[in-house]
Structure 1
Amino acid sequence: MKRFVFPFILFAFVCLVSLSFTSPSTSYYSITVKVTNIRNNSGKLQLQIYRTAENFKKEIPWKVRLFEKDAVKNNTMTCVITGIEPGEYGVALLDDENANKEMDYSMFVPDEGFGFSDYYHTAWSKPKFESFKFQLKEDKTVTIKVRYV
């Protein structure tokens, strides 16, 4: 009988240990960004995804996605970003009309369009992350109205 008890206990222990090291399945979601008020089809739309106010302040996005503007119709385009874990996010947009991957300025005023998830920024200063952040708990659709100065 002792011969069978030790292997059984060992087998049970191995099963318990292996269960404790398996991670729970993580759900991934998509963010659909409806971009409105696009003034032309030149260049690319650059979407920057931020996870914290600190990284937004330092301009260090968590992810950057570029989208060709060939799908713009009636000054509107839809972009989909997939494979995003649940959490807090904010999306900033640059209408990079010359596709140089940075905002261009004339006399300290932006030459290209910009926008933020579900927030139309009208001030001259940079917005706060809290103004355009959202919780991702399921597939999410946000709208960004591009602003040109």
Structure 2
Amino acid sequence: MADDVLRILLVEDNPGDVMSLQRSFRRIAPDAEITVARDAEAAVHELAEAPHGTFGLLLLDINLPRMSGIELLRRLKSESWLSNTPMLLLTTSEAPFDVKTGYASGADGYLVKPFDPQGYDRLVRFLINTWNGDILDDADDYRGIVVAPPAG
């Protein structure tokens, strides 16, 4: 495993979303490694079992069984060894309350799940481009996927 490989912990309970993301990553960033946790408890277990620093990015669904992605985010951000790991919320909700709560809870980004394969490809391209520090040529390409923090 190369040190520059993007290792992602995807916390997602919807098999269709998992499959769509994995498919897009295979097409666009085949070297990226994705570990899937189906709920918050599985995510906590996965993080506890892996050596610190294993995952360079956490993608958290908001609507998870038993513990929400927001609660999981708060818990993970309170861990000093994880506090600098980028954690992005990935959800179908664009509700202002959810966006505000997500950012207030420590989310490093808020992404809206697309509804088609091209949308998942756009999402993965955004993640890879920003991970690599590339300048986004056309931010309009990601409109509808990336939700900015509320002003004020």
Please give the TM-score of this superposition, normalised by the length of structure 2.
0.23
- Greater per-residue strand proportion: 1
Larger Rg: 1
- Greater per-residue helix proportion: 2
Please give the TM-score of this superposition, normalised by the length of structure 1.
0.24
